[in-house]
Structure 1
Amino acid sequence: MRLLVAALDAELVAFPAEIEGFGRLVTGPGKLKGAVGLTRALTAQTYDEIVVVGTGGAIDPRLGAAVYEVTAAVQHDVTDIDGIVGQHVSMPARVETRAVDAAPRRVLDEVTIATGDHFVDDAEAVATIRPLGASMVDMETYAYIWVAQEFGVPIRVLKAVSDRAQDDAITDWRTAVTACSAQLWEVFRADYGV
């Protein structure tokens, strides 16, 4: 059994309510809700793989409106005791996914995502985040990957570009989320044969 995870119901609007072989979890937005929701799910049941789907803001201008495979995550809203952005006092600076390799999968461009507990929507924030090596931003992926590692469960993260993380990005996200869900469903359906 696999677990399909999203932060928001809107990101799953194109997905059927039930998918054979998959449990379903909507955690709510942000790192804490993501971590607590996924921890509860993994405590209650054993899963072979976690498949996260969702939206993210593109901070690399080379990224088009497509679905990307996230293979690593950093945090953009933390600093260590020396004031270094992206470094946490006790958490790893970078976490990486471990997906199940047995399933045939569509080849997607791989990206690193920067996770933080606020919606990124201005050029100044993007300029601060880009040096961390990320191409996209979101609010949950770092937490999902970290929890999956703690439980020893492979995780795969698929993110559709919903906005450019610039001025009025929230308006762009609200307009794009349905189309992003359809893109995610297409990749998911092709890769998992549902």
Structure 2
Amino acid sequence: MRLLVAAHASELVAFDGDLPGFDRLLTGVGKIPAAYALTRALDATTYEEIVVVGTAGAIDPDLEAGVYDIDATLQHDVKDLDGVIGQHISLPARVQVRAEGVTIATGDHFIDDADAVMAIRALGARLVDMESYAYAWVAGQFGVPIRILKAVSDRAQDGASDEWDDAALVCSGWLRGAIRELYGV
């Protein structure tokens, strides 16, 4: 059995009905709700794989609209004792998920500012979201393989938060198509 995970209900709108072979988990938005909900789910049941679907802002202008496999995640809203951004005091700077894909930066605030985009790009990420690091870290603690699929909902620039609701519905359709293609359900 696999676990299909999303942070926000809008990301699952196109996923009507049950998917054979998948349980479903809606975690809530942000790193702490994501970590808490996924930890509780994995503590209660053993899964062969976690499959995360969700939206992300593209901070790389070369990324086109569509769905991307995430290869690694990092945090853009932490710094270590020396003040190095992206480095946590006790957590790994980067959590590797797959051999190939796109790196995503996670933080607990919605990015819709050109200056923030430039700073986060400097960390090596091409997408930005609010949960992927937490999902990847928790999955690693439980030893469960994880696949993170993110659909580009916006360009993380001025006004992106105003457009997210409508974009999330479109992204849900793209994500549903990706699940159908990858898992045959």
Same-fold call, TM cutoff 0.5: yes
Could you tell me which runs of 5 or more consecutive residues in structure 1 were left unpaired when the two chains were aligned. 100-108
Aligned partner of 2:151 in structure 1 is: 160
One-letter code aligned to 2:13: V
* CA distance in 2 between partners of 1:146 and 1:98 (Å): 13
Aligned partner of 1:72 in structure 2 is: 72
Residues 10 and 165 in structure 2, CA contact (< 8 A), matched pair in contact too: no
Aligned partner of 2:85 in structure 1 is: 85
Q: How many residues matched?
A: 185
Residues 49 and 144 in structure 2, CA contact (< 8 A), matched pair in contact too: yes
Aligned partner of 1:52 in structure 2 is: 52
> Alignment partner of 1:132: what SS?
coil
Aligned partner of 1:102 in structure 2 is: none
Within a 5 Å distance, the mapping from 1:110-189 to structure 2 comes to 110-189=101-180
Residues 70 and 98 in structure 2, CA contact (< 8 A), matched pair in contact too: no
* CA distance in 2 between partners of 1:173 and 1:110 (Å): 23
Instruction: Return the offset for 1:128.
Output: 1.0
When the two chains are superposed, the root-mean-square deviation of aligned CA atoms in Å is 1.1
Instruction: Return the offset for 1:178.
Output: 0.7
Instruction: Return the offset for 1:110.
Output: 1.6
* CA distance in 1 between partners of 2:180 and 2:84 (Å): 41
Instruction: Return the offset for 1:11.
Output: 0.1
Instruction: Return the offset for 1:96.
Output: 1.1
Aligned partner of 1:106 in structure 2 is: none
Instruction: Return the offset for 1:191.
Output: 0.8
Q: Which runs of 4+ in 1 moved over 2 A?
A: none
**What percentage of aligned pairs have identical amino acids?**
64
CA deviation profile, 1:150-177 (whole Å, cap 9, x unmatched): 0000000000000000001012211211
Instruction: Return the offset for 1:16.
Output: 2.1
* CA distance in 1 between partners of 2:172 and 2:162 (Å): 16
* CA distance in 2 between partners of 1:151 and 1:98 (Å): 16
Residues 69 and 101 in structure 2, CA contact (< 8 A), matched pair in contact too: yes
> Alignment partner of 1:173: what SS?
helix
**2:8 matches 1:8:** yes
* CA distance in 2 between partners of 1:123 and 1:171 (Å): 15
